[in-house]
Amino acid sequence: MKRLSFALLVFFAAFGLLGQLETARAAITWTGNLDPADPTTWTSSRYGYVGKTADGSLTVDEGDELQSLRGFIGFNSDVRGQMTVSGARSTWTITHHLHVGELGNGTLTICDGGSVTSVTNETGVYPLSTGEVTVSGHDSIWNNSCGIIVGHAGKATLTITDGGTVLSGWGDIAFGAGSTGATTVSGAGSTWANSQNLVIGYSGSGTLAITNGGLVSVGRTLAIDDKGGDDSFINMTNGGALALAGDADDSLADFLNLIDGSNAIRYWDDVLGNWADIMGATPGTDYTLAHIDDSGSELYGYTLLTVWAIPEPGTILMLLVGAAMLLVRRGR
């Protein structure tokens, strides 16, 4: 009888330990202001706020799942909201819209195989707001079935790096008057795929940087600096690739004819030590053009512009020093 009791005690102790290990493995953790206050109660029929009336942060990690009807990160002015979705099978599914930086400051990080799904997303929604989204690492995905606005009326950045993927129907960088938007796609496997249109600088000031093997594809129309102002560009270097739907590999002029607006694509010109108009680049050396006619490719029917121009080591060092100084200034 004593042996049986001891065996039962060991069994229940082990069962309890497994339960604790499971809780540690799959975690939704948070601090500060959330609404509803306990995100484990969020459902696909409830709004979810991270940083609504005061600063707040929320992390979905280790394969856990979060749901909400709509999502808001950094809702009120002067409020900071931080959201992280990290790890394989860690997900946040939003039935409708996601706003990163509504009136305040919002940050969304998707990394290490995490995924976020929404219908549409806006970052830097109202004036004086800021929105920052980073998608980093292979199998990290941000899927927007409708579209993305990087800078609606405020300031916003989207960074896709180290093999991260962003999928969207359409994309807008710097949509509203007075807005600023900057998107960087960098690293082998890093991809932003737009099945429809992509507009850079509709009314604001927008930039798209495609570098180090990153890829941006546009299924319909690409427009740059749509309403003028000469303040919106695509900067490409070091194996960055831009794919546009259509057959335009006969010449760079044919490729640029697929673009609406200013056609302001730039490459790094070491002679000038600055960005320069792509029309001044050397074909076969600074860039290549290729029409994808492989029916098995996801880019079948697209023309791919790949820019190979690479800054000299001294120039790279100067750029890194400049970036470090900018970060120091921002931190003060």
Domain ranges, residue 204: 29-263
pLDDT at 43: 96
Asked if residue 24 is part of any domain, the answer here is: no
Residue 23: predicted pLDDT? 33
Report field, pTM of the whole predicted structure over 0.85: yes
Tell me how crowded residue 285 is: count the other CB atoms within 10 A of its CB.
Answer: 9
Weakest mean pLDDT among 4-13, 17-26, 95-104, 193-202? 17-26
Angle in degrees, CA 202, 75, 34, rounded to 5: 145
Task: Tell me if 291 is assigned to some domain.
Answer: no
The verdict on residue 297 lying in a domain is no
Q: In this structure, how many other beta carbons lie within 10 angstroms of the beta carbon of residue 168? A: 23
Dihedral sign (CA 194, 164, 138, 23): negative
Q: Is residue 232 part of a domain?
A: yes
The closest alpha carbon to 208, from 223, 189, 227, 219, belongs to 223
**Considering the domain boundaries, does residue 12 fall inside one?**
no
Instruction: Read off the amino acid at residue 7.
Output: A
Q: How far apart are CA 226 and CA 158, in angstroms?
A: 20
Is the pLDDT score of 77 beyond 90?
Answer: yes
Q: How many domains does the chain have?
A: 1
Query: Cα 263 vs. chain centroid, distance in angstroms?
Result: 23
In a domain? residue 110: yes
Domain membership flag for residue 273: no
Q: Average pLDDT for residues 235-240, to the nearest whole number? A: 98
Q: How confident is the model at residue 7 (pLDDT cuts 50, 70, 90)?
A: very low
Asked whether the predicted pLDDT for residue 18 surpasses 80, the reply is: no
Report the range of poorest mean pLDDT among 25-34, 42-51, 90-99, 117-126: 25-34
Read off the tokens for 31.
């601090």
pLDDT higher than 50, residue 247: yes
Instruction: Please report the pLDDT score of residue 310 as a whole number.
Output: 87
In a domain, 70, yes or no: yes
